[in-house]
Amino acid sequence: MNRRLSTLVSLGCAVALALAGCSSSGGDNDQSADTYTWWDPYPQHEANSAWAKRVQSCGDKAGVTIKRTAYDTTALTNQSLLAAQEGNAPDVILIDNPAVSTLADTEMLTTVDELGLDTSGIDKNLLAAGVVDDKTYGIPIGANTLALYYNKKILDAAGVDPASVKDWASLDAALSKVKASGHQAITFAAIGTEEGSFQFLPWFWGAGADLRQLDSPEATAAVELWQGWLKNGYAPNSVINNSQNTTWEEFLTGDFGFAVNGTWQVDSAAKADFPSGVIQIPGKDGGVAPTPTGGEFITAPVQKDTGRYKVTKKIVDCMTTADGMVETANTFAYYIPPTKEGQDQLLAEHPELQPWVEAVRSAKGRTSDNLGTDYPHISEALWTAVQNALSGSASAKDALSKAQTDAQKATS
């Protein structure tokens, strides 16, 4: 295997050792003719779960047994790289979309063209996370993203119509009214990790900023928006350390007007002690801000025995039909299908998901624009800048200037 892959494996293990561990084994792969190996990032879904049955049903349709192994997200990337290095990669890997470019960069993945897959119906904005140098290395099985949840009881008392929030100015006006009514206005996650970047990107992109130019005036405006929320008391200082889960726990106390969070909280919101709703995150001057896509891509690693691809294609096809994507969406209760046909079918069953379908249709992959393996370096520089600005250790302009310098050094 090439030196580039060996380097990536070593780096991946060094970074993730404390969290997930790295072994010298790529996993227990049974590569017999009637057994196909499958890895995914859902260890919480055990062998008797609806998800495990969903996976096996695709093996049944293809006439084979699927041997499924689940890792957490970080461990899965590392195990995938190790398996490629040792030449025993599984037949199918379901992996978080930003990691697709990392695996593709090592030449361990087949392209959809090589596998004979049709991606013409996949929304281009969602497929983009799997495109590297104009080649597509996987298919999204669904997508999740961010929007603004609101507490209807609080907004009604404050005299705020959520439909009035069309841009940053109208959002600020709404936050001001909520604060004046005696409640906390908004909570979000600005933690110094990828979650912090994930939550900041809608505001960054909504200002018209570009991840290749972190120190632009547009980027500065986005950081200053968040700074203003803290300065004006619209958001608590706790957001600096908030994870997305912590943010959601704050919202569920019933004292916040708004919270930035994702599709995965739909069921929880429905069970809250107060009525809630969802609106799109607005762009600076109006319209819907692009939000980052979460969710996994189904990929097919390179195999020495290329004759296995015929069955692999059947398994992938089963997971990516409109019916299959809706079944996945219902299994997880938060995935939005990446095709219009699948979205329309899901909405026929769950019309309350309309705001999320709209959000996904305008969303954007974090590694899009051919950022590929540069994205993690850029993201780290960005979340560090946001942390420095919100903590008061640097101005927005100075924090972003350093971020741009750091990102350029890391990606050059």
* Tens of pLDDT, residues 236-277: 999 999 999 999 999 999 999 999 999 999 999 999 999 999
Token pair of 228 as six digits: 């203003």
State the Cα–Cα distance between residues 106 and 125, nearest whole angstrom. Answer: 24
Same domain, 378 and 336: no
CATH of the domain at 126: 3.40.190.10
Per-residue burial over 71-81, b = 16 or more CB atoms within 10 Å of its CB, e = otherwise: bebbbbbbbbb
Same domain, 150 and 286: yes
Tell me, what's the pLDDT at 16? 36
Tell me, what's the pLDDT at 3? 36
Residues 156-174: pLDDT tens digits? 999 999 999 999 999 999 9
Same domain, 271 and 327: no
Same domain, 182 and 120: no
Residues 115-157: pLDDT tens digits? 999 999 999 999 999 999 999 999 999 999 999 999 999 999 9
Query: Between the CA atoms of 367, 368, 370 and 373, what dihedral angle is there, to the nearest 10 degrees?
Result: 0
Same domain, 281 and 382: yes
Start-to-end CA span in the chain (Å): 24
Same domain, 153 and 205: yes
Q: Confirm if 290 and 123 have CB atoms less than 8 A apart.
A: no
Same domain, 16 and 102: yes
Token pair of 10 as six digits: 């070593």
Q: What is the mean pLDDT of the chain?
A: 91
Same domain, 113 and 177: no
DSSP state of 170: H
Same domain, 233 and 176: yes
Q: How confident is the model at residue 23 (pLDDT cuts 50, 70, 90)?
A: very low
State the Cα–Cα distance between residues 353 and 53, nearest whole angstrom. Answer: 25
State the Cα–Cα distance between residues 66 and 55, nearest whole angstrom. Answer: 8
Same domain, 119 and 30: yes
List of residues 6+ apart from 353 with CB closer than 8 A: 266, 336, 346, 347
List of residues 6+ apart from 145 with CB closer than 8 A: 262, 263, 291, 292, 293, 294, 336, 356, 359, 360, 363
Average pLDDT for residues 5-9, to the nearest whole number?
Answer: 42
Residues 381-403: pLDDT tens digits? 999 999 999 999 999 999 999 99
Average pLDDT for residues 295-304, to the nearest whole number?
Answer: 96
Token pair of 259 as six digits: 């919270």
Q: Residue 29 pLDDT > 90, yes or no?
A: no
CA distances from 112 to 36, 256, 298 (A): 18, 45, 10
State the Cα–Cα distance between residues 198 and 176, nearest whole angstrom. Answer: 25
Q: How confident is the model at residue 19 (pLDDT cuts 50, 70, 90)?
A: very low
Same domain, 253 and 129: no
Tell me, what's the pLDDT at 42? 93
**For residue 304, how many other CB atoms are within 10 A of its CB?**
10
Q: What is the DSSP string of 219-249?
A: HHHHHHHHHHHHHTTSS-GGGGT--HHHHHH
Same domain, 181 and 110: no
* Residue-number span of the structural domain to which 115 is assigned: 3-140+295-361
Q: How confident is the model at residue 370 (pLDDT cuts 50, 70, 90)?
A: confident
User: How many structural domains are present in the chain?
Assistant: 2
